[in-house]
A and B are shown apart, each in its own frame.
Chain A
Amino acid sequence: MISLKNVVKRFGSQDVLCGVSMSVARGEVCVLLGPSGGGKSTLLRAINGLETFDGGSIEVCGTSLPPQAGSAREAAMLQIRRRVGMVFQQFNLFPHRTVLENVIEAPMHVLRQPREQAIAKARSLLERVGMLGKCDARPTSLSGGQQQRVAIARTLAMEPEAILFDEPTSALDPNTTAEVVSVMQDLAKGGQGMIVVTHGMHFARNVAHTVHILHSGSIIESGPPEQVFENPQHEVTRGFLSDSR
């Protein structure tokens, strides 16, 4: 469903991604691991068009994404973003809207759903992430974990075929991290496809179908978690895993 071939990304003279290829199937839970600065977030952001890229190809749900700015890319990005959601490290909830308004914003104004329908959907999603009681709260009055759960509900409201999680728990303390991870586990069990950039080994080990290790802009190792964790092939992977333990 998501397919990357030989994707290259440069920031100036620095190569951030040096020919990354990978594919993610429908309903697959894919975790990107690796040392900081390895290009994980850049790769994720390239998939839904938040970053341009300099070589290779990206295809999402049958839509091919042109690498550089232009009207063709604009159109492709709109197509892709309606099918692939994103959850950010800093949550990025809209501070001028209540929790419920955050969730109904895109269904009402992008999908043009009637307000009642959007609200009914939003309430069920907020219930699913355990935030129904905070419908009328402002995002700024919530804890980080609560905000991230609302952000997940906001993304789910667009019924995405896959969700890109960009270090969703890195800004959280251990307690609230657990709340968010349990929501993500729940989603994975329900068959929600996702690509997760994380440092949380626990999640990778227990939930992921596939784990990719990204190092210096290249995928150095891929496989099911039991294989990658129990029998790492690459020197860097071994070092990284022992550091993270």
Chain B
Amino acid sequence: MRCPGENILRGVLSHAKSVRIFALEDGANLLTRLLSLILLLGVLSSTTRCDAQQTALDSLRTKGILVWGADQEGGGPFVFPDDKDPTRLTGFEVEIAELIASHLGVKAQFQQGQWDKLPDLLDRGDIDIVLNGFEWNPGRAERYGTSIPYYIYELQLLARVDDDSIKKWDDLLTTPAGRPRKISLLGGAAAEEYVERFAGDKVELALFDGVTDAMRGTELGTDNIDANVQDLPIWSFYKKDFPLLHAVGPPVGRGFYVALVRKGDTALLQSVNDALLAGFRDGRMRKIFERYGMWNEVQALRALETRGDHGFVGLTTADAATGDGTNSADAAEPSMATSQSTGGLKVIAQRGWFLVRAAGMTILLSVTAMPLAVLIGLVMALCRLYGKWYVATPAACYVEVIRGTPLVLQLYVIYFLVPEMLKSIFPGTHFSISAFWSAVAGLAINYSAYEAEIYRAGLQAIPKGQMEAALSLGMTRGLAIRRILIPQATRIVIPPVTNDFIALFKDTAVCSVITVVELSKEYYIHARNTGAIVELGILTAVLYLAMSYPLSLLAGRLESRLSKEARS
């Protein structure tokens, strides 16, 4: 589905922006390369796990579980919550994962991860295999074990039905409105590379995080978007949701979806290939693709299918029909093809519980991280105010560095880089930080810098006479700080800390980059899979408000009480 190079950090850098303008990319690229180089060095230094190679397949057999990674947010037809029973995952890759697992004689276990971070999860050892529309390319094959293709995809140009000015690919190069055409794409997708090659800078690109967002943007003409280039299977799956869009021109840019394993897990890779080949031969793979409206002539050209008597199946009449593959998909009347857009209260009734449950994760993250943040912040503030220079200077640096870097980057470093670094420092040992605790640590560290400054101001606001009185009573400085200053400073900092707590509640959303599914991520998953952006969006907003408003009230009440105390 999407792809290009090994710019793993690109996602981090572009996280906050759902739409990037193409011209901005070059600058970011240099930084991205630098960062990936650092990352690569870290990874290389620890990939000397010779004896691990042979045991990868054995160990997952011993565990009886094949852990496969994908991102539900990518949606249909890949991996998405089932329309009828959203507790269940469905999608053609879910079925392929089960097919592979059963071939290995183990159970398939799904691991959610942000799409562009899935290869990192593989490196980290959290998952055994990535199965999520990753396109084969030489760079990827260099770094990871790539299976034989389980699907041959093509790209489809989409335009608005009422737009007569785009009838073929070459129309993209025309400028009827006196400006270059604007094309929406999934950020980092193969389509981006194709369009770049086709049109270079003669068109403008609008990069989205989600495929349905890109289609919706095109349908609405948001920000003068003229057209969308989409993976054909995605278009086949979602076309019913976008009646104002139509396919323009033939499918182009053929490529391969492959499964990824760690480089060197050759035994596992071979088993995956065997499983896929067996699935193709006996028609199970074809059935899977037919269920999702994805089977087309291009897949049939593999010419692997055999009947029960081992005779070649050949092209059926439906497959043989020429024209674009989507027509044949329609003819097959697949049971699960196309998402069923459910709207209104029904969606909320059906999926609301997932959001409420994810809100629980948001709360858990916040209430675990915030006390830690306050504690670290207090220690840093004390070091800066009362420590000798060799304590105060590092504390000041800590605050500045943490305040000056984005939370996403900190989470990324804690989750992906720290375990690698520890492994290379202490070879032979296994370090693993769970996603949840990485998220807690990241949030706590990030907010500790702000809490440190709040506490510093709070401590400085206490009249000098308090310390003098305490010292005159024979207290040591430490005792005076502990018994007299900190309790008073804590009263002063309660209102600003409560405000930060509310901010932290919302910042937990960033933790989805390290596979933690909290309220925002859960919203994206369900909104993009159902199209109920507004309904679920309102529910999500209500949930956030329900969590933060009591805190606001509390902050207000504390503030007025404290100011009253100060006046009397």
Q: Contacting B469 at CB < 8 Å: which of A49, A94, A141?
A: A94
Known: A90-B465, A92-B463, A110-B479. A155 touches B473 (CB 8 A): yes
Which chain A residues lie closer than 8 Å to B487 at the CB level?
A: 96
Q: Are B474 and A158 in contact (CB under 8 A)?
A: yes
Q: Are B469 and A109 in contact (CB under 8 A)?
A: no
A81 in contact (CB, < 8 A): yes
A85 in contact (CB, < 8 A): yes
Which chain B residues lie closer than 8 Å to A86 at the CB level?
A: 468-469, 472
Q: How large is the interface on A (under 10, 10 to 19, 20 to 34, 35 or more residues)?
A: 20 to 34
Min CB–CB distance B467 → chain A (angstroms): 9
Known: A96-B487, A96-B488. A105 touches B473 (CB 8 A): yes
Known: A94-B484, A95-B488. A50 touches B471 (CB 8 A): yes
Which chain B residues lie closer than 8 Å to A22 at the CB level?
A: none
Of all chain A residues, the one with the shortest Cβ separation from B483 is A109
| Cα distance, A140 to B565, chains bound together (Å) | 8
Min CB–CB distance B130 → chain A (angstroms): 56
Q: Are B469 and A92 in contact (CB under 8 A)?
A: yes
List which A155-169 residues lie within 8 A (CB) of chain B: 155, 158
A212 in contact (CB, < 8 A): no
Q: Are A81 and B479 in contact (CB under 8 A)?
A: no
Q: Are B568 and A88 in contact (CB under 8 A)?
A: no
B449-478 CB mask vs A (1 if < 8 Å, else 0) is: 000000000000001011011111111100
Q: Are A94 and B474 in contact (CB under 8 A)?
A: no
Of all chain B residues, the one with the shortest Cβ separation from A77 is B471
Q: Contacting A81 at CB < 8 Å: which of B471, B484, B488?
A: B471
Q: Are B476 and A78 in contact (CB under 8 A)?
A: yes
Known: A105-B483, A109-B479, A109-B483. A92 touches B473 (CB 8 A): no
A82 in contact (CB, < 8 A): yes
A106 in contact (CB, < 8 A): yes
B143 in contact (CB, < 8 A): no
Q: Are B473 and A85 in contact (CB under 8 A)?
A: yes
A237 in contact (CB, < 8 A): no
| Cα distance, A106 to B470, chains bound together (Å) | 8
Which chain A residues lie closer than 8 Å to B472 at the CB level?
A: 48, 50, 81, 85-86, 155
Of all chain B residues, the one with the shortest Cβ separation from A107 is B473
A154 in contact (CB, < 8 A): yes
| Cα distance, A155 to B471, chains bound together (Å) | 12
| Cα distance, A154 to B474, chains bound together (Å) | 12
| Cα distance, A106 to B480, chains bound together (Å) | 10
Min CB–CB distance A118 → chain B (angstroms): 13
Of all chain A residues, the one with the shortest Cβ separation from B469 is A92
Q: Contacting B474 at CB < 8 Å: which of A81, A88, A138, A140?
A: A81
| Cα distance, A112 to B471, chains bound together (Å) | 16
B378-398 CB mask vs A (1 if < 8 Å, else 0) is: 000000000000000000000
Give the secondary structure class of B's interface.
helix
| Cα distance, A49 to B475, chains bound together (Å) | 13
Min CB–CB distance A78 → chain B (angstroms): 6
| Cα distance, A49 to B476, chains bound together (Å) | 13
Min CB–CB distance A146 → chain B (angstroms): 14
Q: Are A106 and B473 in contact (CB under 8 A)?
A: yes
Which chain B residues lie closer than 8 Å to A95 at the CB level?
A: 488, 565
B491 in contact (CB, < 8 A): yes
Of all chain A residues, the one with the shortest Cβ separation from B471 is A81
Max chain B C-beta neighbours (<10 A), residue from A92, A93, A155? A92
| Cα distance, A81 to B469, chains bound together (Å) | 11
Q: Are B568 and A96 in contact (CB under 8 A)?
A: no
A134-158 CB mask vs B (1 if < 8 Å, else 0) is: 0000101100000000010011001
| Cα distance, A232 to B465, chains bound together (Å) | 36
| Cα distance, A85 to B473, chains bound together (Å) | 6
| Cα distance, A195 to B484, chains bound together (Å) | 26
| Cα distance, A50 to B472, chains bound together (Å) | 8
| Cα distance, A228 to B454, chains bound together (Å) | 54
Min CB–CB distance B477 → chain A (angstroms): 8
| Cα distance, A155 to B470, chains bound together (Å) | 10
B346-381 CB mask vs A (1 if < 8 Å, else 0) is: 000000000000000000000000000000000000
Known: A90-B465, A96-B487. A154 touches B473 (CB 8 A): yes
Q: Are B473 and A110 in contact (CB under 8 A)?
A: yes
Which chain B residues lie closer than 8 Å to A78 at the CB level?
A: 474, 476
Min CB–CB distance A152 → chain B (angstroms): 12
Q: Are A96 and B491 in contact (CB under 8 A)?
A: yes
Q: Are A50 and B468 in contact (CB under 8 A)?
A: yes
Min CB–CB distance B564 → chain A (angstroms): 10
| Cα distance, A105 to B465, chains bound together (Å) | 16
Of all chain A residues, the one with the shortest Cβ separation from B486 is A96
Q: Are A110 and B465 in contact (CB under 8 A)?
A: no
B478-503 CB mask vs A (1 if < 8 Å, else 0) is: 01000110011001000000000000
6 extra interchain contacts, Cβ-Cβ under 8 A, other than A86-B468, A106-B474, A151-B469? A50-B472, A85-B473, A86-B472, A94-B488, A111-B474, A141-B568
> Can you report 5 residue pairs joining A to B where beta carbons are below 8 Å apart?
A50-B468, A50-B472, A81-B472, A90-B465, A92-B469
Which residues does A use to contact B, with CB under 8 Å? 48-50, 77-78, 81-82, 85-86, 88, 90, 92-96, 105-106, 109-111, 138, 140-141, 151, 154-155, 158
Which residues does B use to contact A, with CB under 8 Å? 463, 465-466, 468-476, 479, 483-484, 487-488, 491, 565-566, 568
